[in-house]
Amino acid sequence: MTASAPSPQLSPSARLSAAPAGFPAPMYPHKATEAQHRERRIRSFQPRRGRMTKAQAGALDRGWERYGLAIDGTPLDLAGLFGGLPVTLEIGFGMGDTTAAMAAADPSSGILAADVHTPGHGNLLQFLERDGSENVRLAAGDAIILLRDMLPDASLAGLRVYFPDPWPKPKHHKRRLIQESFLELVLPRLAPGALVHCATDWEPYAEQMARVLSACPELENLHPEGDGSGWLEPEEHPAGSVPGYAPRPAWRPMTKFERAGLAKGHVVHDLLFRRR
């Protein structure tokens, strides 16, 4: 009997591109992951493969084994991954320009950046190569599985959700990420003092975010009387009933989605809450 030749080892960019279109995340290392991603639950995102450029594919092939990880349900050792740095989870980093800028500006903090957009992973890896940043790890797949199955309790120093899909049609509001069920999953993973920072240019979604976050007794709004127009410390807030929006902090660069929203006349709202 003739022995069969071993299957060729695909490169990271080839594995990403070849992921089954029906699955929401690339980089499946085993069948158990496929079963997890077939869970019957409403998802807050649409799977997006997109066409990678040669530069993005090259960055993936060079950097994925060092900086990337599959969201496959395997518990993570964040201290080992980030050398003991405090870690902020960023859900949905798009093309990675904002993530890279924040990582370069604060090398004393780690960023675990999760997304399902294949070209975005390659693009962010290009930025990390350019800047020499070592404090970012990329997670490919469904952030719900990452939070639920892979992160220890009290392991996160922060959570960032910038310009998530607003799902504007009423019948799709159930797909929005920021809602009570999401907070129930997030809160145990946040260490005391962890910063929760959300931003959106879709005002009805901003109002929903403010209601959901403000209703959580474990979270403190750092700008409970703020209208987003100026930076005040909590003790400096004037009396009054305004939505509780924060001004855009200096550490959050303006994103591509933000610029597009502003060009359409949208109003951008930031919300800053702290885990008690």
Mind telling me the catalytic residues? 165
Per-residue tokens: 146: 């990452």
d(CA 207, CA 130): 38
Per-residue tokens: 84: 């003991």
Query: Is 169 marked as binding a ligand?
Result: yes
Per-residue tokens: 89: 């989870």
Q: Are 95 and 123 in contact (CB under 8 A)?
A: yes
d(CA 176, CA 161): 12
Query: Is 88 marked as binding a ligand?
Result: no
Query: Is 174 marked as binding a ligand?
Result: no
* Residue (of 107, 124, 36) closest to 73 by Cα position: 36
**Residue 211 CB neighbours (<10 A):** 14
Query: Is 82 marked as binding a ligand?
Result: no
Q: Are 72 and 32 in contact (CB under 8 A)?
A: yes
Helix residue ranges, H only, the chain? 12-18, 31-37, 54-67, 78-82, 97-105, 118-131, 143-145, 180-186, 203-214, 256-263
Query: Is 258 marked as binding a ligand?
Result: yes
Label residues 35-64 b or e (16+ Cβ within 10 Å = b).
ebbeeeeeebbebeeeebeeebbbbbbbbb
d(CA 25, CA 37): 8
Query: Is 163 marked as binding a ligand?
Result: no
Binding site listing for S-adenosyl-L-methionine: 90, 115, 142, 165
Binding site listing for substrate: 169, 201, 255-258
Binding site listing: 90, 115, 142, 165, 169, 201, 255-258
